Amino acid sequence: MADFVVGWVQSLLEGLREHVDEQTRARVLAHCSHACTAPWADQAREIRQRIPGADMPTLLTAFCAVLPGGGPHVQVEENTIFWSFAPDSCPCPIGQLTGNPQVCLCGKSHVQGMLEALLGRPVTVQLIRSRLRGDGECAYIIR
């Protein structure tokens, strides 16, 4: 049964890639990311409420401390966050099952949802490196 589910999800992701424009794919996979993002966004909001008025580096440090493995490596320069981590494999369970880089569109939304909750404002997220695309790390630029 597990092989069937993996094949079905892989077929869905490939169908999205072949038949749906990138903007629509991103919206569909962003919608799917809500289930994974919600508990982390709740924790992010709790941190923001617990330390009101904290600057961005302080909020990020507190949030990364609750993430598995201590969270990503984070660097802040002015209003830009460089968020990177180098796990042994893709940290997403769907990415681990399928190996499909389309899942990175979901991951991008995941990071966006967590950081918007943490910072209390909209952010834009750009994926610049991905384990599923063969890079040595996953990395994002957030503004």
* d(C-alpha 62, C-alpha 42), whole Å: 14
Count Cβ atoms within 10 A of the Cβ of residue 113 and give its class: 0-12 exposed, 13-18 middle, 19 or more buried: buried
Q: What angle do CA 66, 74, 101 make, to 5 degrees?
A: 90
pLDDT of residue 75: 95
Global pTM value? 0.89
DSSP bridge pairs for 127: 140
What is the number of other CB atoms lying within 10 angstroms of the CB of residue 70?
Answer: 10
Q: In what order do the strands lie in the sheet with 138-142?
A: 73-77, 80-85, 138-142, 125-129
Domains of the chain plus CATH, in order, are 2-142 (3.30.1380)
Count Cβ atoms within 10 A of the Cβ of residue 49 and give its class: 0-12 exposed, 13-18 middle, 19 or more buried: exposed
Q: What is the mean pLDDT of each run of 10 residues along the chain (143 residues)?
A: 87 92 91 92 97 95 90 92 84 86 90 96 96 91 97
pLDDT of residue 94: 87
* d(C-alpha 134, C-alpha 132), whole Å: 5
Q: Which two tokens stand for residue 44?
A: 């992010």
